[in-house]
Amino acid sequence: QVQLVESGGGLVQAGESLRLSCVASGTTSRIKAMGWYRQVPGNQRELVATIGANDATNYAHFVEGRFAISRDRSKDTLYLQMNDLKPDDTAVYYCNAFIWDRAGAAIDYWGEGTPVTVSS
């Protein structure tokens, strides 16, 4: 199993920056990819950014050029640098880890989330 714990969220004004962290523990060697997702209550959870085992990154169009995802494997930590935050970025941000277990099954793990509120 993999456990994920996010931190770094908070209340900021539009245009400011935050850096989210996600510390993974457990069977971290089997993590294939990780990502950040966000969700507003009552809405679907949406992809923000992902990073693969080869460090290839993918970003949602609404954060392209503002956010940067990175991973420090030595610390089992995923980061999301969020710059030029906008009120529409307000959401609970969740850390995700994609795992291949020994039987070849794909498993998604999620953290509890860290809230980000951006005021105008």
Q: What is the pLDDT of residues 43-78, one digit of tens each?
A: 999 999 999 989 999 999 999 899 999 999 999 999
Highest mean predicted confidence (pLDDT) among 19-23, 27-31, 53-57, 100-104: 19-23
For 118, other C-beta atoms within 10 Å of its C-beta total: 20
**CA count, 13 A, side-chain hemisphere, 116:** 32
Helix (H) or strand (E) holding 4: strand 2-7
Per residue in 71-98, pLDDT tens?
A: 999 999 999 999 999 999 999 999 999 9
